[in-house]
Amino acid sequence: RSKLFYEQRILYTKCIAASKLFSLISEKKTNLCLAADVTNVEKLLKLANEVGPHICIFKIHADIIDDFAEKEKEELKNIAQRHNFMIMEDRKLADIGNTVQLQFNQISKWANLITVHAISGFGILEAIQNSMNFNENIGVFVIAELSSQNNLITPDYTKKTVHLAEKYPKLIAGIVCQFSSTFSNPGFIQMTPGVNIEENVTNDNLGQQYNSPETVVMDRSADIVVVGRGIINAPDPSQIALEYKKKLWNAYLKRMKKNN
Protein backbone atom coordinates (compact mmCIF):
# COMPACT_ATOMS: atom_id res chain seq x y z
CA ARG A 1 0.00 0.00 0.00
CA SER A 2 2.71 2.49 0.97
CA LYS A 3 4.40 2.08 -2.44
CA LEU A 4 1.43 3.17 -4.51
CA PHE A 5 0.79 6.75 -5.63
CA TYR A 6 -2.59 8.25 -4.75
CA GLU A 7 -3.79 8.08 -8.35
CA GLN A 8 -2.86 4.38 -8.57
CA ARG A 9 -4.90 3.62 -5.48
CA ILE A 10 -8.12 4.56 -7.33
CA LEU A 11 -7.97 1.16 -9.04
CA TYR A 12 -8.31 -0.60 -5.71
CA THR A 13 -11.27 1.21 -4.17
CA LYS A 14 -14.94 0.45 -4.67
CA CYS A 15 -16.06 3.54 -2.76
CA ILE A 16 -17.01 6.55 -4.90
CA ALA A 17 -16.03 9.07 -2.20
CA ALA A 18 -12.59 7.45 -1.79
CA SER A 19 -11.85 7.57 -5.50
CA LYS A 20 -12.89 11.24 -5.60
CA LEU A 21 -10.64 11.86 -2.63
CA PHE A 22 -7.66 10.10 -4.23
CA SER A 23 -7.98 12.25 -7.38
CA LEU A 24 -8.56 15.44 -5.42
CA ILE A 25 -5.41 14.79 -3.36
CA SER A 26 -3.22 14.18 -6.39
CA GLU A 27 -4.67 17.16 -8.30
CA LYS A 28 -4.29 19.62 -5.42
CA LYS A 29 -1.09 17.98 -4.14
CA THR A 30 -2.30 18.09 -0.58
CA ASN A 31 -2.89 15.33 1.96
CA LEU A 32 -3.76 17.79 4.72
CA CYS A 33 -7.09 17.59 6.52
CA LEU A 34 -7.95 20.58 8.69
CA ALA A 35 -9.66 19.82 11.99
CA ALA A 36 -11.69 23.03 12.16
CA ASP A 37 -12.58 22.72 15.83
CA VAL A 38 -14.03 26.20 16.36
CA THR A 39 -17.34 27.06 17.97
CA ASN A 40 -18.16 30.27 16.12
CA VAL A 41 -19.82 29.74 12.76
CA GLU A 42 -18.42 32.93 11.15
CA LYS A 43 -14.95 31.88 12.22
CA LEU A 44 -15.62 28.43 10.76
CA LEU A 45 -16.61 29.80 7.36
CA LYS A 46 -13.67 32.24 7.37
CA LEU A 47 -11.30 29.33 8.08
CA ALA A 48 -12.84 27.30 5.24
CA ASN A 49 -12.33 30.21 2.86
CA GLU A 50 -8.76 30.96 3.90
CA VAL A 51 -7.41 27.45 4.39
CA GLY A 52 -9.55 25.84 1.65
CA PRO A 53 -6.91 26.07 -1.11
CA HIS A 54 -4.41 24.04 0.96
CA ILE A 55 -6.52 21.10 2.15
CA CYS A 56 -8.25 17.98 0.85
CA ILE A 57 -10.73 17.68 3.75
CA PHE A 58 -12.35 20.23 6.04
CA LYS A 59 -13.21 18.19 9.12
CA ILE A 60 -15.71 19.51 11.64
CA HIS A 61 -17.57 18.52 14.77
CA ALA A 62 -20.99 20.00 13.95
CA ASP A 63 -22.17 19.67 17.56
CA ILE A 64 -19.59 22.16 18.89
CA ILE A 65 -20.62 24.97 16.53
CA ASP A 66 -23.08 27.65 17.66
CA ASP A 67 -25.92 28.27 15.18
CA PHE A 68 -24.75 25.88 12.45
CA ALA A 69 -28.02 26.04 10.52
CA GLU A 70 -29.20 25.32 6.98
CA LYS A 71 -27.88 28.61 5.59
CA GLU A 72 -24.39 28.08 7.02
CA LYS A 73 -24.28 24.48 5.80
CA GLU A 74 -25.13 25.70 2.30
CA GLU A 75 -22.43 28.33 2.55
CA LEU A 76 -19.87 25.72 3.64
CA LYS A 77 -20.87 23.50 0.71
CA ASN A 78 -20.35 26.44 -1.67
CA ILE A 79 -16.90 27.15 -0.25
CA ALA A 80 -16.03 23.45 -0.55
CA GLN A 81 -16.99 23.51 -4.21
CA ARG A 82 -15.05 26.71 -4.86
CA HIS A 83 -11.84 25.41 -3.26
CA ASN A 84 -12.32 21.74 -4.14
CA PHE A 85 -12.23 20.06 -0.75
CA MET A 86 -14.51 17.52 0.94
CA ILE A 87 -16.49 18.11 4.14
CA MET A 88 -16.15 15.55 6.90
CA GLU A 89 -18.41 15.35 9.93
CA ASP A 90 -16.25 13.71 12.59
CA ARG A 91 -19.29 12.47 14.47
CA LYS A 92 -17.77 9.11 15.48
CA LEU A 93 -21.18 7.44 15.40
CA ALA A 94 -21.28 4.48 17.75
CA ASP A 95 -24.89 3.55 18.53
CA ILE A 96 -27.04 0.60 17.42
CA GLY A 97 -27.82 0.34 13.70
CA ASN A 98 -31.30 1.86 13.82
CA THR A 99 -30.20 4.99 15.69
CA VAL A 100 -27.15 5.41 13.49
CA GLN A 101 -29.32 5.17 10.39
CA LEU A 102 -31.43 8.10 11.62
CA GLN A 103 -28.31 10.12 12.50
CA PHE A 104 -26.67 9.28 9.18
CA ASN A 105 -29.73 10.39 7.20
CA GLN A 106 -29.38 13.88 8.70
CA ILE A 107 -25.62 14.19 8.33
CA SER A 108 -25.54 12.88 4.75
CA LYS A 109 -27.60 15.93 3.69
CA TRP A 110 -24.53 18.13 3.95
CA ALA A 111 -21.36 16.10 4.59
CA ASN A 112 -19.30 14.07 2.08
CA LEU A 113 -17.52 11.97 4.68
CA ILE A 114 -18.34 10.69 8.15
CA THR A 115 -16.51 8.84 10.92
CA VAL A 116 -17.93 5.85 12.81
CA HIS A 117 -16.82 3.50 15.57
CA ALA A 118 -17.38 -0.21 14.93
CA ILE A 119 -18.06 -0.87 18.63
CA SER A 120 -21.71 -1.88 18.14
CA GLY A 121 -20.91 -4.46 15.45
CA PHE A 122 -22.07 -5.08 11.88
CA GLY A 123 -25.44 -3.32 12.40
CA ILE A 124 -23.87 0.12 12.23
CA LEU A 125 -22.38 -0.47 8.76
CA GLU A 126 -25.43 -2.39 7.58
CA ALA A 127 -27.62 0.59 8.57
CA ILE A 128 -25.44 3.03 6.68
CA GLN A 129 -25.36 0.73 3.68
CA ASN A 130 -29.18 0.71 3.61
CA SER A 131 -29.25 4.52 3.60
CA MET A 132 -26.42 4.70 1.10
CA ASN A 133 -28.67 3.31 -1.59
CA PHE A 134 -30.13 6.81 -1.66
CA ASN A 135 -26.80 8.62 -1.50
CA GLU A 136 -23.82 6.76 -2.88
CA ASN A 137 -21.49 9.70 -2.71
CA ILE A 138 -20.85 9.72 1.00
CA GLY A 139 -17.85 7.81 2.36
CA VAL A 140 -17.28 6.32 5.78
CA PHE A 141 -14.07 6.34 7.80
CA VAL A 142 -13.99 3.70 10.54
CA ILE A 143 -12.04 4.34 13.74
CA ALA A 144 -9.65 1.42 14.28
CA GLU A 145 -7.23 3.21 16.62
CA LEU A 146 -7.22 6.45 18.60
CA SER A 147 -4.40 8.94 19.08
CA SER A 148 -5.06 9.50 22.77
CA GLN A 149 -2.92 8.17 25.57
CA ASN A 150 -4.12 5.02 27.36
CA ASN A 151 -7.23 4.69 25.19
CA LEU A 152 -9.21 1.48 25.64
CA ILE A 153 -8.90 0.07 22.11
CA THR A 154 -7.05 -3.26 22.07
CA PRO A 155 -5.09 -4.85 19.17
CA ASP A 156 -7.84 -7.45 18.86
CA TYR A 157 -10.55 -4.75 18.60
CA THR A 158 -8.51 -3.00 15.91
CA LYS A 159 -8.14 -6.24 13.93
CA LYS A 160 -11.86 -7.02 14.15
CA THR A 161 -12.74 -3.46 13.11
CA VAL A 162 -10.61 -3.71 9.97
CA HIS A 163 -12.08 -7.14 9.23
CA LEU A 164 -15.61 -5.71 9.49
CA ALA A 165 -14.70 -2.75 7.27
CA GLU A 166 -13.44 -5.17 4.57
CA LYS A 167 -16.99 -6.50 4.28
CA TYR A 168 -18.34 -3.10 3.18
CA PRO A 169 -15.97 -1.93 0.41
CA LYS A 170 -18.51 0.37 -1.28
CA LEU A 171 -19.14 2.18 1.95
CA ILE A 172 -15.71 2.44 3.48
CA ALA A 173 -13.45 5.23 2.22
CA GLY A 174 -10.83 4.52 4.83
CA ILE A 175 -9.63 3.80 8.32
CA VAL A 176 -8.69 6.25 11.07
CA CYS A 177 -5.58 4.76 12.66
CA GLN A 178 -2.02 5.40 13.78
CA PHE A 179 0.09 2.70 12.11
CA SER A 180 0.74 1.34 8.61
CA SER A 181 0.47 -2.20 9.94
CA THR A 182 -3.17 -1.63 10.97
CA PHE A 183 -4.50 -2.60 7.52
CA SER A 184 -3.12 -3.51 4.10
CA ASN A 185 -5.98 -2.94 1.60
CA PRO A 186 -4.69 -0.24 -0.83
CA GLY A 187 -8.28 0.77 -1.56
CA PHE A 188 -8.69 2.12 1.97
CA ILE A 189 -7.35 5.54 2.90
CA GLN A 190 -5.31 5.83 6.11
CA MET A 191 -6.34 8.94 8.00
CA THR A 192 -4.09 9.82 10.92
CA PRO A 193 -4.69 12.53 13.54
CA GLY A 194 -2.24 13.73 16.20
CA VAL A 195 0.28 15.83 14.27
CA ASN A 196 2.14 19.02 15.12
CA ILE A 197 5.26 20.53 13.54
CA GLU A 198 6.49 22.21 16.73
CA GLU A 199 9.15 19.90 18.14
CA ASN A 200 8.29 20.76 21.75
CA VAL A 201 4.56 20.02 21.28
CA THR A 202 4.18 16.27 21.92
CA ASN A 203 0.85 16.24 23.76
CA ASP A 204 -1.87 18.37 25.30
CA ASN A 205 -2.96 18.05 28.92
CA LEU A 206 -6.00 15.92 28.05
CA GLY A 207 -4.28 12.86 26.60
CA GLN A 208 -3.79 13.88 22.96
CA GLN A 209 -0.40 12.76 21.57
CA TYR A 210 1.44 14.41 18.66
CA ASN A 211 3.96 13.17 16.10
CA SER A 212 5.78 14.96 13.29
CA PRO A 213 4.55 14.96 9.66
CA GLU A 214 7.60 12.86 8.70
CA THR A 215 6.87 10.21 11.33
CA VAL A 216 3.24 9.72 10.35
CA VAL A 217 3.67 9.91 6.56
CA MET A 218 7.06 8.23 6.08
CA ASP A 219 7.23 5.72 8.94
CA ARG A 220 3.52 5.12 9.48
CA SER A 221 2.19 5.44 5.89
CA ALA A 222 -0.55 7.97 6.62
CA ASP A 223 -2.43 9.00 3.46
CA ILE A 224 -4.30 11.92 4.99
CA VAL A 225 -3.08 13.78 8.04
CA VAL A 226 -5.38 15.62 10.42
CA VAL A 227 -4.16 18.87 11.96
CA GLY A 228 -6.29 21.02 14.23
CA ARG A 229 -4.82 23.29 16.87
CA GLY A 230 -1.43 23.43 15.13
CA ILE A 231 -3.21 25.48 12.45
CA ILE A 232 -6.34 27.02 13.93
CA ASN A 233 -4.57 28.59 16.92
CA ALA A 234 -1.89 30.23 14.77
CA PRO A 235 -2.10 34.00 14.10
CA ASP A 236 -2.27 33.29 10.35
CA PRO A 237 -3.94 29.88 9.82
CA SER A 238 -3.65 30.05 6.04
CA GLN A 239 0.10 30.63 6.07
CA ILE A 240 0.75 27.84 8.61
CA ALA A 241 -1.60 25.49 6.71
CA LEU A 242 0.53 26.04 3.61
CA GLU A 243 3.59 25.14 5.66
CA TYR A 244 1.93 21.90 6.88
CA LYS A 245 0.78 21.14 3.34
CA LYS A 246 4.32 21.43 1.96
CA LYS A 247 5.89 19.38 4.77
CA LEU A 248 3.29 16.62 4.45
CA TRP A 249 3.50 16.47 0.66
CA ASN A 250 7.31 16.36 0.75
CA ALA A 251 7.16 13.54 3.28
CA TYR A 252 4.86 11.64 0.89
CA LEU A 253 7.24 12.22 -2.07
CA LYS A 254 10.17 11.03 0.05
CA ARG A 255 8.28 7.88 1.04
CA MET A 256 7.49 7.18 -2.62
CA LYS A 257 11.12 7.65 -3.60
CA LYS A 258 12.32 5.38 -0.83
CA ASN A 259 9.78 2.62 -1.53
CA ASN A 260 9.97 2.52 -5.34
Residue numbers at the binding site for ligand UP6 (CB under 6 A): 35, 37, 90, 146-147, 176, 193-194, 208, 226-230
In whole angstroms, the minimum distance from the beta carbon of 130 to ligand UP6 comes to 26
In whole angstroms, the minimum distance from the beta carbon of 131 to ligand UP6 comes to 23
Return the residue nearest ligand UP6 (CB atom): 228
Closer residue to ligand UP6 (CB): 52 or 230 = 230
Closer residue to ligand UP6 (CB): 229 or 246 = 229
Closer residue to ligand UP6 (CB): 9 or 117 = 117
43, 77, 92, 246: which is the annotated catalytic residue?
A: 92
In whole angstroms, the minimum distance from the beta carbon of 209 to ligand UP6 comes to 9
Rounded Cα distance between 76 and 146, Å, is: 27
Is 20 marked active-site? no
In whole angstroms, the minimum distance from the beta carbon of 226 to ligand UP6 comes to 5
* Catalytic positions: 92
